[in-house]
């Protein structure tokens, strides 16, 4: 998700009571690069404590406070309510977060959206939900009908930020040892094994192939190949000097 698009998404916390939760939500937003935090009727003590907390994200200081949901989402053309699975409001489409993320990402390409999170104790009220175009739920076990507020915000913003392409990306193969390095390492292993009497590479025809395959299975990096070679040279030196 582009930074521009992220700026079009507002996170709206309604009647949050716990300064730790407000702080945790702000920290998650900052982690994932979302900066538009709006609070509807926060308990003023909670809000002030959250703002003054050590390590509070800068964005908490720029958070805007509203008297009601209408005012908080006035500039948004999509309003989504985050709700526990247990909270069924059949009038509204209920999307799992995976799909909600896709719909939200598409919307904020060109227009503003808001996600509403209810209070820790009561969740979203029916009045709050009446402002929503649809609802999202995080796919937790049915036994639980709510998540910790800070965690729910973090998981939601992670879904919006995640990159399907990254799931297919291979780790950089740049560091892997070349065949030349592996052959050199194999030669040292062979000497050490021969000298220590592990096996006779002249007689056991397949021994060299087995060793070669073993080294390829380990996916050794260039750097580790050099370290292993150094270890083997030292062992060989000791073996040559008769183990004294």
Per CB under 8 A, residues contacting its own copies are: 20, 24, 27-28, 30-33, 90-91, 93-99, 101-102, 134, 138-141, 144, 147-148, 150-151, 154-155, 158-159, 161-164, 166-171, 175, 221, 223-224
Smallest separation (angstroms) from its own copies to the CB of 62: 16
Helix (H, G, I), strand (E, B) or coil at 13: strand
To its own copies, the closest distance from the beta carbon of 241 in angstroms equals: 31
Closest C-alpha to 131, from 183, 173, 184, 71: 71
In angstroms, the CA 162 to CA 99 distance is 13
Q: Which CB sits closer to its own copies, 123 or 190? A: 123
- Our CA dihedral for 79, 80, 81, 82, rounded to 10 degrees, sits at -150
Closer residue to its own copies in complex, CB, 144/216: 144
> What distance in Å separates the CA atoms of residue 110 and residue 101, rounded to the nearest whole number?
15
Q: How far is the CB of 243 from its own copies (least distance, A)?
A: 29
| Number of neighbours of residue 225 by Cβ within 10 angstroms | 20
Nearer to its own copies, 171 or 243 (CB): 171
CB of 109 to its own copies, least distance (A): 17
């Amino acid at each position: 998700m582009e930074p521009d698009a992220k700026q079009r998404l507002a996170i709206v916390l309604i009647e949050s009571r716990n300064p730790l939760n407000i702080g945790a939500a702000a920290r998650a937003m900052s982690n994932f690069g979302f900066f538009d935090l709006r609070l509807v009727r926060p308990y003023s003590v909670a809000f002030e404590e959250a703002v003054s907390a050590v390590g509070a994200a800068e964005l908490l200081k720029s958070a805007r406070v509203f008297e009601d949901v209408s005012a908080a989402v006035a500039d948004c053309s999509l309003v989504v309510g985050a709700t526990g699975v247990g909270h069924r409001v059949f009038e509204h489409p209920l999307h799992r977060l995976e799909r909600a993320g896709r719909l939200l990402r598409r919307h904020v390409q060109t227009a503003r959206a808001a996600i509403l999170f209810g209070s820790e104790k009561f969740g979203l009220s029916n009045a709050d939900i009446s402002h929503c175009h649809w609802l999202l739920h995080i796919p937790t076990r049915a036994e639980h009908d709510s998540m910790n507020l800070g965690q729910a915000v973090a998981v939601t913003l992670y879904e919006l930020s995640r990159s399907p392409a990254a799931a297919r990306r291979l780790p950089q193969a740049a560091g892997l040892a070349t065949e030349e390095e592996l052959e050199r390492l194999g030669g040292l292993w062979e000497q050490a094994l021969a000298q220590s009497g592990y096996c006779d590479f002249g007689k056991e025809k397949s021994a060299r192939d087995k060793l070669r395959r073993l080294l390829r299975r380990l996916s050794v990096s260039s750097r580790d190949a050099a370290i292993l070679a150094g270890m083997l040279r030292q062992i060989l030196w000791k073996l040559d000097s008769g183990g004294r």
